């Protein structure tokens, strides 16, 4: 087992249409035994980062360490990492038993040890009954488990996984998510897992590194990212439905945020913080789960508005309000009866409100 450390790692691709900076001075330390998720939108540099750690791509600059060893010049096969790809290719003509055994065979492990390890892995992944089948005789989830088996059979220092569950249907993904997390904890192997699915990241990770445009924009535990997003990007990326983000201007005289059809009274501290940082253009953020709606008059309501659309979800209901150009979403318990057109008071509890600098996107208060 080992930690993984990236120091100012950069990757520039040269294309006929110019340079693409896929990874932009990334610093990252993945702890020994940790399950770290790289999370970000398509094209933000997740796969490129993973491929550089695996040795399948050479960094333009920067250093990559596995344990204490600088691996920049080390061949992929000498890095002792195993990678599971989104499109895991299983050799179609081979039986499951031989697919899993393959990494050991090419490394010339003794036959008894190969058999023992394949048995162990098959047991762990609950595929003992499939060992004599070929890939086309397996379901997607079973194929996925075989691909995992092939990766773990060797007990590498590090697992690198690139969206390994994305080809599975939604239900199976939920099952495999939990199984994979359990497996990683049992094996204790340092794991770097790439996904663009924030639910996958939140549910599986010890820590998440959120990437945007080649950079890590925040690193923290799922809870830290959820409760204290460092910027509007993380705030909007994590949580479902996404955080409400409302553009406002600071009315200094009244200690008020003027957000068009909606007014938000600042507490004195928040007002001071904004002024001391010279921030007058603000993005007000609040999660839909934290927006309150009330029928009776509320002096602290940010607005009174008719419901635009109601979306029942079963255990809860998403209520949409349209205020000018701004859509505000509230998630409420399903047993509260609401109907489109009804007028409700919208309340933002102060301790649930995030204030971001509109210019930089950074969290201010």
Ligand X SMILES: Nc1ncnc2c1ncn2[C@@H]1O[C@H](COP(=O)(O)OP(=O)(O)OP(=O)(O)O)[C@@H](O)[C@H]1O
3 state SS of 228 = coil
> Does position 43 bind ligand X by CB under 6 A?
yes
How far out from the chain centre does Cα 95 lie? 34
Tokens of 274: 């904004």
> Does position 19 bind ligand X by CB under 6 A?
no
Helices (H), the chain: 46-54, 96-105, 111-124, 140-152, 170-187, 198-204, 222-227, 232-237, 268-276
Residue 46 or 145: the one with the smaller Cβ distance to ligand X is 46
Among 16, 42, 73, 351, binds ligand X (CB under 6 A): 42
Residues numbered 195 to 254 that lie near ligand X (CB under 6 A) are 196
Instruction: Return the residue matching tokens 């057109």.
Output: 341
Contact between 346 and 330 under an 8 Å Cβ cutoff? The reply is yes
Give the interface segment with ligand X, choosing from 42-50, 233-241, 268-276, 340-348 (CB under 6 A).
42-50
| Structure letter (DSSP) for residue 278 | T
Among 5, 26, 35, 45, binds ligand X (CB under 6 A): 45
Residues in the interface with ligand X (CB under 6 A) total 13
Residue 4 or 96: the one with the smaller Cβ distance to ligand X is 4
Tokens of 305: 């508005």
DSSP-assigned letters across all residues of 20-74: EEEEEEEEEEEPTT-EEEEE--TTSSHHHHHHHHHTSS--SEEEEEETTEE-TTS
Instruction: Return the residue matching tokens 């309340």.
Output: 347
Residue 58 or 360: the one with the smaller Cβ distance to Mg ion is 58
Residue 47 or 184: the one with the smaller Cβ distance to Mg ion is 47
Q: How many CB atoms lie within 10 A of CB 259?
A: 21
Q: Could you give the string, one character per residue 46-85, with x where binding to ligand X holds by CB under 6 A and - elsewhere?
A: xxx-------------------------------------
Question: In angstroms, what is the minimal distance from the CB of 50 to Mg ion?
Answer: 8
> Does position 161 bind ligand X by CB under 6 A?
no
> Does position 47 bind Mg ion by CB under 5 A?
yes
Question: In angstroms, what is the minimal distance from the CB of 138 to ligand X?
Answer: 25
Question: In angstroms, what is the minimal distance from the CB of 202 to ligand X?
Answer: 17
Task: Please choose which of ligand X, Mg ion, none residue 91 contacts, taking the beta carbon within 5 to 8 angstroms, the exact cut-off set by kind.
Answer: none
Residues that bind ligand X (CB under 6 A): 13, 15, 20, 22, 40, 42-48, 196
């Amino acid at each position: 087992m080992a930690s993984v450390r990236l120091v100012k790692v950069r990757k520039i691709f040269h294309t006929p249409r110019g340079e693409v900076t896929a990874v932009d001075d990334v610093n990252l330390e993945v702890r020994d035994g940790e399950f770290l998720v790289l999370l970000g939108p398509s094209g933000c540099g997740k796969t490129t980062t993973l491929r550089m750690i695996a040795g399948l791509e050479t960094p333009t600059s920067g250093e990559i360490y596995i344990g204490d060893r600088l691996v920049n010049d080390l061949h992929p096969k000498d890095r002792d990492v195993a990678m599971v790809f989104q499109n895991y290719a299983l050799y179609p003509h081979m039986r499951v038993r031989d697919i899993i055994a393959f990494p050991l065979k090419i490394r010339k492990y003794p036959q008894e040890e190969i058999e023992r390890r394949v048995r162990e892995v098959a047991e762990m992944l609950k595929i003992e009954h499939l060992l004599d089948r070929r890939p086309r005789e397996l379901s997607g989830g079973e194929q996925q488990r075989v691909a995992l088996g092939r990766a773990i059979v060797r007990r590498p220092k590090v697992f690198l996984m690139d969206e390994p569950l994305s080809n599975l249907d939604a239900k199976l993904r939920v099952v495999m998510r939990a199984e994979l997390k359990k497996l990683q904890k049992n094996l204790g192997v340092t794991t770097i897992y790439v996904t663009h699915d924030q639910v996958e990241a939140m549910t599986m990770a010890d820590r998440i590194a959120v990437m945007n445009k080649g950079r890590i924009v925040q690193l923290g535990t799922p809870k830290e990212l959820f409760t204290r997003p460092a910027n509007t990007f993380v705030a909007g990326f994590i949580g479902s439905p996404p955080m409400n983000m409302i553009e406002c201007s600071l009315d200094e005289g009244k200690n008020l945020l003027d957000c068009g059809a909606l007014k938000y009274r600042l507490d004195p501290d928040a007002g001071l913080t904004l002024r001391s940082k010279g921030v007058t253009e603000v993005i007000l953020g609040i999660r839909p789960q934290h927006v309150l709606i009330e029928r009776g008059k509320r002096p602290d309501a940010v607005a009174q508005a008719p419901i635009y659309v109601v979306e029942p979800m079963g255990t809860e209901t998403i209520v949409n309000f349209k205020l000018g150009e701004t859509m505000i979403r509230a998630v409420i318990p399903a047993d509260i009866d609401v109907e489109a057109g009804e007028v409700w008071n919208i309340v933002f509890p102060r301790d649930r409100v995030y204030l971001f600098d509109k210019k930089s996107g950074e969290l201010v208060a």
